[in-house]
Amino acid sequence: MTETVPPVRLFVAIHPPPAALTDLATVVDALRVSLAHAPGHSTRLTRREGWHVTVAFLGEVAAAKVDRATRALQAVAERTEPMRLRLAGGGTFGGRRNPILWVGLTGDVAALKLLGTAMRQALRRARLPVDDRPLRPHLTLARPGSRVPPEAIASDVTTLAGYQGPQWSVTELSLMLSEIHQTPAGPVPRYTALASAPLGT
């Protein structure tokens, strides 16, 4: 009997360099959503080793089609010039009842959005699933839900509004595998790069 290979969950991302993430971390440490995080009271902070900016989200893909996604990634990357970005500002998605706290980006954001459009088009041409919603560039910081009072979230948004991180260059795209691992503290997402492609080659 042939063993069925389960589908994999994929997305395309760019990764800010360590200097940019270290600078952001100093601000995140002082946010009220971070100060409220404690054993037995998770405010669902995202893992810093997984911080990234999503360019396109595929969702579940047959394992046999990962090569298609890799080729689409490479084709778009070689047609895309490097761009300059910085992490800056912030806000929430999801409304007051289920907020998702994020930091935004400034710089060549228009070029980043064009990259997102090109990536979605290439994935569709490869007959792969893709979320068709336009790219809203951001890096997710926390999904606190009702674990943090709304006024605390509003305070954190105000803090992030004044944030300007160091500028950095985007020089590659990565195809990422998303998995959920069970830990004593609960389910934890883990992201692994399956392929990377330099921009502008």
Per-residue three-class SS string for 159-176: HHHCCECCCEEECEEEEE
CA neighbor of 103 nearest in space, from 53, 152, 63, 170: 53
pLDDT for residue 42: 86
Contact 24, 87 (CB under 8 A): yes
Give CA 46 to chain center in angstroms.
10
Please give the pLDDT value at position 11: 98
pTM score: 0.92
Q: What is the pLDDT of residue 184?
A: 65
Tell me how far apart the alpha carbons of residues 201 and 134 are, in angstroms, rounded to a whole number. 26
CATH, domain range 8-198 = 3.90.1140.10
Amino acid 53: pLDDT: 98
Per-residue pLDDT of the chain (201 residues; tens, 9 = 90+): 456 778 999 999 999 999 999 999 999 999 999 998 888 888 899 999 999 999 999 999 999 999 999 999 999 999 999 999 999 999 999 877 789 999 999 999 999 999 999 999 999 999 999 999 989 999 999 999 888 999 999 999 999 999 999 999 999 999 999 998 776 656 778 999 999 999 996
What does the pLDDT look like over 42-86, one tens digit per residue? Answer: 889 999 999 999 999 999 999 999 999 999 999 999 999 999 999
What's residue 97's pLDDT? 79
Indicate the domain borders of the chain: 8-198
- At 104 the pLDDT is 97
